[in-house]
Amino acid sequence: MDIRANFSLRPYNTFGIDVRARHFAEFRSLGELQELLEYIEDKQELRKNDTMVLGGGSNVLFTSDVDGWVIKNDLPGIEQVGTRDGKVLVRAGAGENWHGFVMHCLDQGWSGMENLSLIPGNVGATPIQNIGAYGVDMAQIFEVLEAWDIEDRKLVRFTRSDCSFGYRESYFKHEGKNRFIILSVTYCLDTVPVFHTTYGPIQEELVKMGVAELSVRAISDAVIRIRSSKLPDPKHIGNAGSFFKNPVVSKEAYGIFLQKYPDMVGHELPEGGVKLAAGWLIEKAGWKGFRRGDAGCHQRQALVLVNYGNATGTQILQLSQEIMDDVHHKFGVHLEREVNIY
């Protein structure tokens, strides 16, 4: 068990924020996790809000040092665990890289997650955030997950209904926050593909690519091209992808908006309401490309806040608040942060 003190988290968060953890350790098995938690408890430091589990660090903004424990989830493994009604059940360890897992599934001819290609982060974060893109979210392919209950010291299985999935929401962001450590997630994928190409610019990109015969690989390639053209690579510019959620308004409110802004982007939801494009609102408010010091709003995608080098988490958080306040002032729409603030 390798425990490090006063440990820099800069390489472990995609914003590249230079903060430190009082204690840091990694685990690659349930046994290592149990041993680590027992050690922390023996030190009388296993307190609910003082122990943070870190995955890929792709949806986190650190605003200060972590005066407690950061334990990194590196649980590996991908395996087929069953079939049902022409579908396949595939389990992945929480520490597996999400995009690598998606590519593995496509290589096997399994479909359902191609629209979620190139989303940064690890498997363990996908049910917490209920990640989604281009008309598909993780809840649609979710089967079950296994987690370790820190309080009751036991393995727990969560079904889809247990997880309370919503738009970028789940049980693990609220009632279950800091109590459960996700160990693995099982997904239910199609062996006969069902294509989702109507949301966003996928069809347009497929035409540009000259795709004559639609396939899950072609959809994945189109999504990768779109994301790569709009979103900065965290290896070069610190960011966490989409910083804000797309707000939802009533159809009536959207109709009123269209009278004033005919080019306003919105997508009707099956359950009612219209999801507005937060990026459009932010760009229309004049923030796209804005930079103050090393904290900025990306020049190609206004939904993305960036660290150009040495911005602090506090500076990025302050910029996000200014954007939220300005969008509300100009449009009367409340934006919410998608990124988790620590």
Catalytic one among 114, 169, 205, 338?
Answer: 338
Where the chain has pLDDT below 50, the residues are none
Name residue 181's amino acid: I
Residue 303: its pLDDT value, please? 95
Residue 288: its pLDDT value, please? 97
User: Does residue 242 carry a catalytic annotation?
Assistant: yes
Residue 228: its pLDDT value, please? 92
Catalytic one among 58, 111, 117, 242?
Answer: 242
User: Does residue 8 carry a catalytic annotation?
Assistant: no
User: Does residue 168 carry a catalytic annotation?
Assistant: yes
Residue 46: its pLDDT value, please? 62
Contact 36, 25 (CB under 8 A): yes
Closest CA to 52 of 28, 31, 36, 35: 36
Residue 75: its pLDDT value, please? 98
Residue 137: its pLDDT value, please? 93
Residue 198: its pLDDT value, please? 86
Residue 269: its pLDDT value, please? 86
Catalytic one among 91, 168, 225, 337?
Answer: 168
Rounded distance, CA 339 to CA 319, Å?
A: 14
Residue 105: its pLDDT value, please? 97
pTM for this entry:
0.89
Residue 178: its pLDDT value, please? 86
- DSSP 8-state symbol, 220: H
Across the chain, which distance is largest between two alpha carbons, in Å? 63
Name residue 336's amino acid: E
